[in-house]
Structure 1
């Protein structure tokens, strides 16, 4: 496609000379800045403009300012024409966005060479942008595929727990919703603003269902026991944390290559039974040495367990559950997270009540 060049000069002689020299391009001309802007408004897809700075009606600087202000004109490259003693004007024009300058009286051969160079550069830039757009589209497609694969894998793993009647699908849905509500609230606080980015919150919510994935390795006689566990059985049950971490790390040969969401899932599975005072398991971590995903999951998991009916206990009501959460601040739970949890407790309780009602209806039918 032939490039389009706009020549803007109040000298009809200069316009004629330059037009003749550029016979193989698509040429349009204007005798002043105002006419130039009218032409550009009608056709903003001009490749290059040769612009005289000294014109009686809307000078070249005003034209450059107008082009700079309008994003639709950003593709126009401008070569300014100045007199030999106008060094300050050359600098000013370049600062306003011109890509080059040539002095009058015109050196036609030099002007032709510069025009050809800038048009080739623009063509190369256009091709690079097109290549980048294609690459971005490919990356976006691959990213969508990876996210879909990740989500399918997570759902499949969690499905193993649901098939064994370890957890209900409602537990998975509730804990994900609560994780999102809690993280979004904490994100507003200065202490978490830089940590809980939108991307990280999405990882936390997505990997929340994997917190108990290690329970697939626990024998049914313990996992499904309709009564409280003995000390020996509880010792075996606690191994689900280690099993979960091992399952998530199984195909990773170099820990430096662990994908971010897998790292988050490992932290959730491996540390959600740690306690803030150091009395939890499996490592007896305390305070902020417990990874943030584990500290978040600890309060969410305990809350949902208390609010839910189990084979060995009835469901707690919301008041009793919130009282327990409050009492365990600084003991089982991170006090800062407890504070955030209590600030959005009404929204969290609403999530629980919605799904409890659904479960009751399911049982009725």
Structure 2
């Protein structure tokens, strides 16, 4: 029986350690940037953590299905986990008067709000041009930021993609994002109970969401609830957010 060269094994181990270190650094950097994004809207930092864990748990459950197995490798799921915090990075380009508005947006304001997807896509596209080559990391991030508001029936934005035209990454994020938005308290609204949120997700099966993903979500809904409880917002989190938004709104009103 032949054994691998000690030198080659050492090199492989070194490369694996370096790759692991890079992923760890990416996680820290992504979380830091996402935390900055979250300061400008009604979400809390815990929202980022919940989204990360929802996506990873749902993706891991889908790994065993033939239609997802080729895409949802362990490496890809870890990449999604690392990048998920940045999915709303485009909101950094939305004016405070719209992003912080507590009442309904006008049609014009809503149209501007929708541009957060294309703003983020354009930033990443510029990064790709600067890099001068294809990057799995940037490609995946571009999918997340650009396509998480697409809907299975084609009624979403910005491209009106339908079905499997929507990247798997964005389909996963759509369920995670909507579920968390439903159950979470915001400055302007109270969250709804888990059971009601699950019912709304199920109603969106085949219209808003990938039906196969919804079926798996229904089977593992208790895991989503456990994640929500583990990373629940505290009263202090909400108070800080209320104070920040009150000050920000006051500043906007003075302009």
TM interval, short-chain normalised: 0.7 to 0.9
For structure 2, the residue ranges without an aligned partner over 5 or more in a row are 241-255
In structure 2, the partner of 1:207 is 83
Kindly tell me: are residues 294 and 256 of structure 1, through their superposed partners in 2, closer, same or farther at Cα, counting changes over 3 Å? farther
Distance in 1 of aligned mates of 2:178 and 2:26: 26
Query: Is the Cα contact below 8 Å between 2:88 and 2:145 reproduced in 1?
Result: yes
Kindly tell me: are residues 169 and 276 of structure 1, through their superposed partners in 2, closer, same or farther at Cα, counting changes over 3 Å? same
Per-residue Cα deviation, 1:112-146 (whole angstroms, up to 9, x for no partner) = xxxxxxxxxxxxxx9xx344244334423532443
User: Aligned match of 1:266 in 142, 152, 162?
Assistant: 142
Distance in 1 of aligned mates of 2:198 and 2:24: 36
Report which of the two structures shows the higher radius of gyration computed on alpha carbons.
1
CA RMSD of aligned residues (A): 2.4
Query: Is the Cα contact below 8 Å between 1:186 and 1:193 reproduced in 2?
Result: yes
Query: Is the Cα contact below 8 Å between 2:187 and 2:238 reproduced in 1?
Result: no
Q: Is residue 307 from structure 1 mapped to residue 204 from structure 2 by the alignment? A: no
For structure 1, the residue ranges without an aligned partner over 5 or more in a row are 1-67, 69-73, 76-125
- Shift in Å, 1:353: 2.8
* TM-score, L = length of structure 1: 0.61
Q: Give structure 1 regions of 4+ aligned residues with deviation exceeding 6 angstroms.
A: none
Distance in 2 of aligned mates of 1:141 and 1:300: 31
Distance in 1 of aligned mates of 2:101 and 2:109: 10
Q: Is residue 155 from structure 1 mapped to residue 21 from structure 2 by the alignment? A: no
- Shift in Å, 1:153: 2.9
Kindly tell me: are residues 132 and 269 of structure 1, through their superposed partners in 2, closer, same or farther at Cα, counting changes over 3 Å? same
- Shift in Å, 1:278: 0.5
Q: Which has the higher contact order (CA 8 A, sep 6+)?
A: 2
Query: Is the Cα contact below 8 Å between 1:176 and 1:205 reproduced in 2?
Result: yes
In structure 2, the partner of 1:5 is none
In structure 2, the partner of 1:317 is 193
Query: Is the Cα contact below 8 Å between 1:228 and 1:312 reproduced in 2?
Result: no
Distance in 2 of aligned mates of 1:362 and 1:256: 41
In structure 2, the partner of 1:135 is 11
Query: Is the Cα contact below 8 Å between 2:117 and 2:158 reproduced in 1?
Result: yes
State the aligned residue count.
240
Query: Is the Cα contact below 8 Å between 2:43 and 2:186 reproduced in 1?
Result: no
Query: Is the Cα contact below 8 Å between 2:44 and 2:237 reproduced in 1?
Result: no
In structure 1, the partner of 2:106 is 230
Which structure carries more strand by proportion? 1
Distance in 1 of aligned mates of 2:46 and 2:68: 28
Per-residue Cα deviation, 1:157-214 (whole angstroms, up to 9, x for no partner) = 2122133245311100001111111111111223222321111111111111111110
User: Aligned match of 1:359 in 234, 242, 245?
Assistant: 234
Query: Is the Cα contact below 8 Å between 1:227 and 1:311 reproduced in 2?
Result: no
* TM-score, L = length of structure 2: 0.85
